[in-house]
Amino acid sequence: MKIVKLENVTYNAPYARNAMASNRNCGVILKAEDVVSVKNVTFTVAGTPGDDQNVAPAAQRYNAIEICLNNGSKVYRPRKIDIENVRIEGQISNNGILIFDCADGAVINIKNCYFNKVSNAIRFSNYSMSKNVTINIEDCVINQWESRPAYDGWQGFLLLEDYTTGHTILTDLAKCFGKETGLVINIKNLLLPNGEYLTQDMIPSCIALQQDHSNIVINACVDNADGDPHTIEEFGGIDSFPTINVTPKKN
């Protein structure tokens, strides 16, 4: 079994977005065939991003952690991803943690993580259109999600966005994230920017596509896919979204 671990690290230095650099858009890239483990990792304050994500100031941070970015000949599809006690204390102009791919039946655990200022805390792309994936989110806090007027529509904690680079099979969002894939998202004790904990009865009103949104927790959007819907109704209605189970914080 092959395990890649990132543990007990604090990142203080800034890094700029540079699609031509070896680290591309992020601070850390992790790839593993079996297990990825990220624990006790902190990104401290490091400058303020500008309004244009593609022209990065010297202190800008675009993404923090990218997992299994399959931009080469080898495709990495771990069966388990454990992320615990990751703290983004500064400002990220895009996403905190990006999970691009995983195996059929994979389990992704995201626990006790803090996101200060991000566009989205988590992005899941499902490059391989894997089936029966479970995402467990527990005891996480997002202080502020996307607020810049130029990027209105990107708000949300969890971004379901199709793969961007080098994907030769362009498909629709339903085949990546729809209920037919068997994707299950379990959320427990998620504290939102408005100071409220997510509850199950909020779900119908806090899921949306990028083009049909308000302040939403789970955001599905188009990046490189073909023929995608532009409204909830075109997607197939709220029942076409993956299964989402919410356990509220106990008083």
Tell me which amino acid residue 189 is: N
pLDDT (0 to 100) of residue 112: 98
Q: Which residues contact 92 (CB under 8 A, 6 or more apart)?
A: 43, 49, 61, 62, 63, 64, 115, 117, 118, 119
Contact 83, 38 (CB under 8 A): yes
Specify the DSSP class assigned to residue 13. S
Contact (Cβ atoms closer than 8 angstroms) between residue 67 and residue 27: no
pLDDT, position 245? 93
Q: Output the six-digit token pair for 74.
A: 């080898």
Number of domains in the chain: 1
Predicted local distance difference test score (pLDDT) of residue 160: 86
pLDDT of residue 205: 66
Residues of the chain with pLDDT under 70: 13-25, 45-60, 70-73, 150, 152-153, 163-172, 205-206, 208-215, 222-239, 251
Give the SS3 label for residue 27: strand
- State the pLDDT at residue 14: 62
Q: What is the pLDDT of residue 232?
A: 56
Amino acid 185: pLDDT:
95
DSSP single-letter state for residue 217: S
Q: Which residues of 183-195 are buried (b: 16+ CB within 10 A; e: fewer)?
A: bbbebbbbbbbee
- Residue 235 is part of which domain span? 3-247
Q: What does the alpha-carbon distance between residue 102 and residue 33 come to, in Å, rounded to a whole number?
A: 9
Burial readout 39-52 (b: 16 or more C-beta within 10 A, e: otherwise): bebbbeebbebeee
Q: What is the pLDDT of residue 35?
A: 97
pLDDT score for 13:
66
